[in-house]
Amino acid sequence: MNLWQMIAAEKMSIFIQEFLPRSKINFVGSFLDQSTLDVFSDVDIKVSLLEVAPVNMKNLLTAVSENFNNGVLGYEVHNNDDNDVLRLCLDNGWRFDLTFVYPEPLKRNVTDASFLEKIEDTASSFWFGSSMVLIKLGRNDYLIATHLVLELCQFVIVIQMLVRDEQKKTNIHRSGDCEDVPILHSILSLKSRDTQNTKDDILNILFQAAECMDKISAKLIKCPYRTDKLRDLQNQLNL
């Protein structure tokens, strides 16, 4: 079977063993039955750790960008009592679900994220979610793809709300300022196209949201323009 997952799995396993030398790696999910793999499948890896200390995700993501030929398009981090899950998509479309399992539940030092950290996390979740919209379209699941693409529009609005909170130094707002909401105008502008094609409608909303996210992110954090990378992924998946 000549799929990208074979090369990606080998490269990621070598990387993890170098980054976390005292760890045990197991492939899980669809990789256990490779006859079920297709171009839309991700690579699921379970990483069992000996140390009861959280993986430094920021350092890990930096190392991924440095060690892989393609940078990170987007990612999500989910913290649980005894494991951390990193879901990420590289610029070339390689997607991984990495579960880091600790020998016992962690005692986490919870601190409030800074304004820029919240922006970065929201933007990264957006771009990972955008790759999942394409995956769901590829598998003809237009219902979930629609759910995800509308959630992406909300991520753009969340960025605006974070900016307002930062400017006013509060997240409690009894009233607003009749703010402009560019993503709303972008979505409504699509009505004139009248495609009557659900797949095209979803793609149109996806790329309108991507353009909005790129524009608003560029004003706040140092980040690459990622809409073109998303279009490259769309072409790669023949959508």
Q: Do 140 and 214 share a domain, yes or no?
A: yes
CATH of the domain at 138: 1.20.120
pLDDT bracket for residue 194 (50, 70, 90) = low
Backbone angles phi, psi at 164, to 5 degrees: -65, -45
Instruction: Say if CB 112 and CB 210 are below 8 A apart.
Output: no
Same domain, 47 and 84: yes
Task: Tell the burial category of 15 from Cβ atoms under 10 Å away from its Cβ (0-12, 13-18, 19+).
Answer: middle
Asked if pLDDT for residue 1 goes beyond 60, the answer is no
3-state secondary structure of 205: helix
Q: Which of 38, 15, 212 is nearest to 122 (CA)?
A: 212
Q: Give 2's pLDDT tier (boundaries 50, 70, 90).
A: low
- pLDDT, tens digit, 9 for 90 and up, residues 10-23: 999 999 999 999 89
Domain residues for the domain of 86 are: 4-101
Tell whether 78 and 125 lie within a shared domain.
no
Place of tokens 């995700």: 57
108-130 pLDDT tens trace: 888 889 999 999 999 999 999 99
Same domain? For 37 and 141 the reply is no
Q: Let me know if residue 18 belongs to a domain.
A: yes
Is residue 59 located within the same domain as residue 130? Answer: no
Joined tokens for residue 130: 């955008």
What is the C-alpha to C-alpha distance for residues 137 and 140, in angstroms, rounded to an integer? 5
Residue 107 placed within a domain:
no
- The label of the residue with tokens 């605006």 reads 160
- Closest among 115, 216, 217 to 169, alpha carbons compared: 115
Instruction: Check residue 125 and give its pLDDT.
Output: 97
Domain match, 121 and 204 both: yes
Asked, for residue 59, whether it belongs to a domain, the answer is yes
**94 part of a folded domain:** yes
Q: Is residue 108 part of a domain?
A: no
CA distance 23 to 13: 11
| Same domain for 124 and 69 | no
pLDDT at 91: 93
Residues 141 and 70 in one domain: no
Final residue before a domain boundary, out of 76, 101, 126: 101
Q: What is the CATH number of the domain that holds 77?
A: 3.30.460.10
In a domain, 69, yes or no: yes
Task: Categorize the per-residue pLDDT at 131 as very low, low, confident or very high, splitting at 50, 70 and 90.
Answer: very high
CB 20 within 8 A of CB 49: yes
Q: Which of 195, 75, 57 is nearest to 127 (CA)?
A: 75
189 has pLDDT over 60: yes
Residues 141 and 225 in one domain: yes
Mean pLDDT of the chain, nearest integer: 92
Strand partners, 96: 43, 88
- Residue given tokens 């039955």 in the structure block: 33
Is 176 among the domain residues?
yes
> Are 81 and 150 part of one and the same domain?
no
Residues 85 and 125 in one domain: no
Total domains in the fold of the chain: 2
Q: Are residues 126 and 201 in the same domain?
A: yes
For residue 102, pLDDT beyond 60: yes
C-alpha span between 116 and 119 (Å, rounded): 5
Q: Say how far apart CA 69 and CA 58 lie, in whole Å.
A: 18
- Is the pLDDT score of 30 beyond 90? no
Last residue of a domain, which of 75, 101, 127? 101
Q: Which residues pair with 45 in a beta bridge?
A: 27, 98
In a domain, 32, yes or no: yes
